[in-house]
Structure 1
Amino acid sequence: MHAPPSETGTSAAVTGAAMTTCFGDTDRTVDALLAGESGVAPLRGMDTEAMGVVYGYPIADGDESQSRASGWLTGVIRDATAGLELDGRRVAVVVGSGLRELRSLERWHRDGAAFGVRQLHFDEAVRAALPGVAEVLTVSNACSASGYALAVGMDLLSADEADVVVAAGTDSRTESMLTMIGKIGDELTAAVEPFDVDRTGVLLGEGAAAVVIEREARTPLGWIRSVGLTCDAHHETAPDQAGVVGAMRDAHERAGVTPADIGLVVAHGTGTALNDPTEAGALTETFGTSRPQITAIKGATGHTSGGASLMNTIVALTAMRTGTIPAVTGLRTPIEQAAGLNLVVGDAAPTTATLAQVDAFGFGGVNAVTVVEVA
């Protein structure tokens, strides 16, 4: 067995990973990111005029059944655990979601579609993939939810409460959230443009992601070195640079690394008026003269809320394993606050990075920063 690389002894081996996005499965998503594709499309089946939002990054699978977020969750957990030996082992699953099955609840209210309160918890969706799982936990930490799920999973392993943990995240678009976005925007957003001077706001994506972690493994995909957390409660929606920097530094300290050790950052990058300059400022403050390569994927996939952090984690691992980083889709001219950052713009770029930072920030100042190392 290979021992975890962290001096703190808190690392976990990544033994499986899977995601589904507007592009499709993990391989199709990675290919689309590297090609600079965008999954933005007109929204169907919703009153876009009333919501004030016309576009999104939907999964166009033709399935408008109830519990879509649960269905994607079942699929990625099944894919991430395929081929793993789990019999006789204590397996826990932690699911992060910003909105849970709110879309199903909306359809119950509007159309009387069948819906059970237990579906909000995802227990049934998890057990459809892993019938013998010992425990299912659900956390709802806004847009950093799956980062928090990963942190809880790390704690479960560290406390010897589980032998294997599946950390996952899932969300689907909802009329409630889209209407909120439509009401606060100054103009119609046609695409997410992270860190761009002409960005107009965020659009929702859909999908799910899952990562399997264990204390040790013979052939891991990589290592979760740490998850740093802060809950600064600065504002209901506006991010706080001090809280973001605190999460980054907490992650570095827990991992036993310095900013100079980080070669890649997969940024949160929502394309909003406040998040982008705040995150850019936090990266500048944290990294100083270090210049890690920086990318972000929401211009391609939209904001996938609960699944965003783990999707970024999978992208980081894949980029380091293949030696190629996707560019920031939608970015042409960086904002002033990002002028000193080493953003990957235009085309995919080669990398020799072996250690990456993954950013995820949620409403209310719930921030999760992951440090991940390639095997």
Structure 2
Amino acid sequence: MTAVITGSEIRTCFGDSAATFAALAEGRCGVGVLRSELRERLGVTSGYHAEDEADRRVLRASGWLTECVRAAVAQSGVDPARRRVAVVVGTGLRELHAVELMDDQPVRTADLHFDRAVRRAVPEATQVITVCNACSASGHALAIACDLLELDEADAVVAAGCDAMTDSMLAMIGRVAEEPTDRVRPFDADRMGVLLGEGAAAVVVERGDRPRAGSGAVLATVLGVGLSCDAFHETAPDPDGIVRAVRDAHRRAGIEPDQVDLVVAHGTGTALNDPVEATALGRVFGHRQDGPLVTGIKGATGHTSGAAALTSLAVAVHALAEQTVPAVTGLREPIAEAAGLRVVTGRATSAAVEVAQVNSFGFGGVNAVCIVGRSA
């Protein structure tokens, strides 16, 4: 079975898809002062916020999710009233921000999942599934979406992801940093650690081997999604687990490593992730004299947790369409482990990109790797 992407929308610290792609092309960084009265106690003073302070909502992730699902479905041209449309939402934290405010602003338990948020955009959705799989959650949502299509459980599936910043997660980040991080610097020798971003992403996938459910243009083809769960460590990534996910994705896509033109890396700017990811990429692509270009977006957008995989996927789809790859924002001096990789630095570059790989890795070794191809 072939799955095609016919709708896509994201929300980041820069705004919608168009605003985000423009910011990435220009190499801008969306970091700002952390909007929390607890920032000094948390040990985190900066963050990549997705909205103006005056516009903050209690159910923040739900609001962005509704907007992205609505826009992606509209672009796809799929009519949920006439077609079976399922929705799979990946998240790391669900609506934990709302839970932290419950003493002052009570929230219904049902709102901590995303059924209501999705049905504000697609009231007729046949089912809404929430997957809580850490930082690779929306990559797993895409894998489930493809499975639902292959099993003929739906005519179209919306794969989505969302997360908002929470004091609980910020406190964890502050505990593991020797000093407050000023910005995310993926694959940089002087990286200080990760910072949270926030937002949402949604893509509509349909079967490409039968008459389409919608009228929208095909944006890209999902060639395969590879998964692994190595349970190597609570937080530390395992290169063997990452390589397994990459090779699983290549096998499902029916491609060889030589056919990958671009890798959108997970690239969190942490002490452990970046060297491990670079090492894993070297193991997969190191035999090539002219390996794939490598980029990553968290230096610009922060780590958007459950939305990270599909936000990177949207950037990959844009690169396939425009034949332009954004540089890694914040990268000045690459780490030694990345020496053999063609990391895009300085400014965006034009390139012939037909096949792109998107990496996403979560705590506990929950990994998802997606392969997408350019539309015909």
- TM-score (structure 2 length as normaliser): 0.95
User: Partners of 1:120 and 1:91 in 2: how far apart?
Assistant: 22
Secondary structure at the residue paired with 2:102? helix
In the other structure, the counterpart of 2:83 is: 89
User: Partners of 1:50 and 1:102 in 2: how far apart?
Assistant: 19
- 1:59 Cα deviation after fit: 1.6
Q: Which amino acid aligns with 2:297?
A: I
User: Partners of 2:108 and 2:225 in 1: how far apart?
Assistant: 33
User: Partners of 1:63 and 1:148 in 2: how far apart?
Assistant: 30
User: Partners of 1:292 and 1:353 in 2: how far apart?
Assistant: 9
User: Partners of 1:330 and 1:191 in 2: how far apart?
Assistant: 8
Contact kept, 8 Å, 2:43 with 2:179, in 1: the verdict is no
Contact kept, 8 Å, 1:46 with 1:175, in 2: the verdict is no
Q: Which amino acid aligns with 1:256?
A: G
User: Partners of 2:371 and 2:37 in 1: how far apart?
Assistant: 38
Q: Which amino acid aligns with 1:278?
A: V
In the other structure, the counterpart of 1:56 is: 47
Query: Structure 1, residues 137-174: CA drift from partner, whole Å, max 9, x if none?
Result: 00000000000000010100011111100000000000
In the other structure, the counterpart of 1:172 is: 164
In the other structure, the counterpart of 1:32 is: 23
- 1:351 Cα deviation after fit: 1.0
Q: Within the alignment, does 1:285 sit opposite 2:279 as a pair? A: no
Query: Structure 1, residues 218-256: CA drift from partner, whole Å, max 9, x if none?
Result: 731111111100000000000000000000000000000
Secondary structure at the residue paired with 1:82? helix
Q: Within the alignment, does 1:142 sit opposite 2:134 as a pair? A: yes
User: Partners of 1:135 and 1:35 in 2: how far apart?
Assistant: 39
In the other structure, the counterpart of 2:356 is: 356
Aligned length: 364
Query: Structure 1, residues 268-296: CA drift from partner, whole Å, max 9, x if none?
Result: 00000000000000000011233100000
In the other structure, the counterpart of 1:239 is: 237
Contact kept, 8 Å, 2:186 with 2:269, in 1: the verdict is yes
Contact kept, 8 Å, 1:320 with 1:351, in 2: the verdict is no
Q: Which amino acid aligns with 2:88?
A: V
Q: Within the alignment, does 1:159 sit opposite 2:151 as a pair? A: yes
Contact kept, 8 Å, 2:84 with 2:154, in 1: the verdict is yes
Give the alignment partner of residue 47 of structure 1, picking from 14, 27, 38: 38
Q: Within the alignment, does 1:295 sit opposite 2:305 as a pair? A: no
User: Partners of 1:345 and 1:312 in 2: how far apart?
Assistant: 17
User: Partners of 1:156 and 1:85 in 2: how far apart?
Assistant: 16
In the other structure, the counterpart of 1:324 is: 324
Q: Within the alignment, does 1:106 sit opposite 2:97 as a pair? A: no
Give the alignment partner of residue 275 of structure 1, picking from 264, 273, 276: 273
**For residues 192-271 of structure 1, what are the structure 2 equivalents within 5 Å?**
192-216=184-208, 217=212, 219-271=217-269
Q: Which amino acid aligns with 2:64?
A: W
Contact kept, 8 Å, 1:209 with 1:310, in 2: the verdict is yes
- 1:114 Cα deviation after fit: 2.0
Unmatched segments (≥5 aa) in structure 2: none
What is the root-mean-square deviation of aligned Cα atoms in Å?
0.9
In the other structure, the counterpart of 2:6 is: 15
- 1:349 Cα deviation after fit: 0.5
- 1:320 Cα deviation after fit: 1.4
Secondary structure at the residue paired with 1:108? coil
Q: Which amino acid aligns with 1:293?
A: L
Secondary structure at the residue paired with 1:364? coil
- 1:210 Cα deviation after fit: 0.2
Contact kept, 8 Å, 1:121 with 1:138, in 2: the verdict is yes
Secondary structure at the residue paired with 2:203? strand
Contact kept, 8 Å, 1:96 with 1:306, in 2: the verdict is yes
- 1:88 Cα deviation after fit: 1.5
- 1:65 Cα deviation after fit: 2.0
User: Partners of 1:225 and 1:119 in 2: how far apart?
Assistant: 34
- 1:46 Cα deviation after fit: 3.1
Contact kept, 8 Å, 2:286 with 2:340, in 1: the verdict is no
User: Partners of 1:46 and 1:92 in 2: how far apart?
Assistant: 39
In the other structure, the counterpart of 2:115 is: 123
Q: Percentage identity across aligned positions?
A: 55
- 1:134 Cα deviation after fit: 0.6
- TM-score (structure 1 length as normaliser): 0.96
Query: Structure 1, residues 324-357: CA drift from partner, whole Å, max 9, x if none?
Result: 1000000011000000000000010011011000
User: Partners of 2:108 and 2:257 in 1: how far apart?
Assistant: 47
- 1:64 Cα deviation after fit: 2.2
User: Partners of 1:201 and 1:141 in 2: how far apart?
Assistant: 21
Contact kept, 8 Å, 1:74 with 1:129, in 2: the verdict is yes
